[in-house]
Amino acid sequence: MPESVGVYFDEDGLVKESLSKSNFFYVCIGLFALTNGMIFIYRRLVSSQVNHDLIDFQHMTRVESNYHWWNGLSLMINVFYILSIIFIGLYHSKEKFDITDYTALVVLGPLFIVLWIFWFIYLQFTKK
């Protein structure tokens, strides 16, 4: 990564806002810690109400299926972070290659999260 990471661009593709490499790193670590910490706290609060031996969603209550859904959301968010950081690293790479070959990295993370939200909606309608 270069010393300065562009985070906001104008219509012409010129950098309007940027962060230093170290600030970008700390923002990423902070976001990671905040989201995973909130999910961890939720899991700790609800853990006593969940039968951890169940593996089939058909036999779980709504609280149990929500608990496991939040565990999966943690995975989806972390995959989103990883794919985003890979794309940002490729975008700011000193090597010259066509960045449009890697736009799938930008689409996959949000797509996984949207699909996971639809899974949550499905679980809410199928649980008693």
Q: Going by C-beta distance under 8 Å and a sequence separation of 6 or more, which residues neighbour residue 81?
A: 28, 31, 32, 109
Please state, in angstroms and rounded to a whole number, the distance separating the CA atoms of residues 88 and 122: 33
Q: Is 78 or 101 the better-scoring residue by pLDDT?
A: 78
pLDDT of residue 80: 92
The tens digit of pLDDT for each residue in 82-111 reads 988 888 888 777 787 777 777 888 888 899
Q: Per DSSP, what are the bridge partners of residue 9?
A: 15
Phi, psi of 9 (to 5 degrees): -125, 150
State the pTM of this model.
0.78
For the chain, counts of helices (H) and of strands (E): 3, 2
The pLDDT of residue 1 is 63
